Amino acid sequence: MDKGDLPPEPDRLSAQWLVALATRSAREVSALLADARRRGRPLATFTIDGEIRFATAADRSAFARKLADRVAELLAEYDDRSVAGGRDHRLMICMYPALPVPADSAETAG
């Protein structure tokens, strides 16, 4: 999926936008993984998964703003379009309410 498959002006607070990006990510990584396996090479990826509890919606908003600002700073610091042999990487960070864990599955997980 390329940019043409996504809405032209994303609403960063839209669940539909999150689903569209997650779908694109799944397709792209699946294709990259299949290609890497065909070539017998590893696929370099990086993933962070975490959970956070906010006291208020205002705290959640403040966190999202600060995260966006800090990520923008890192992108500006490390994005180097002048390198001929550089490789573009896609970065996606998402946040959504965690699904509740059923009490019986928490007991059997450990």
Query: CA triplet 29, 73, 68: central angle to 5 degrees?
Result: 65
Q: Is residue 47 part of a domain?
A: yes
pLDDT in tens, the chain (110 residues): 345 566 556 787 788 889 999 999 999 999 999 999 999 999 999 999 999 999 999 999 999 999 999 999 999 999 999 989 899 999 999 999 898 888 877 566 55
Q: Is residue 104 part of a domain?
A: no
Please state the domain count of the chain.
1
Give the contacts of 93 (CB within 8 A, at least 6 positions apart).
67, 71
CA dihedral 30, 36, 38, 41 (to 10 degrees): -150
Residue 52 lies in domain: 3-80
Question: Which DSSP symbol is given to 56?
Answer: S
Look up the pTM and report it.
0.74
Helix (H, G, I), strand (E, B) or coil at 79: coil
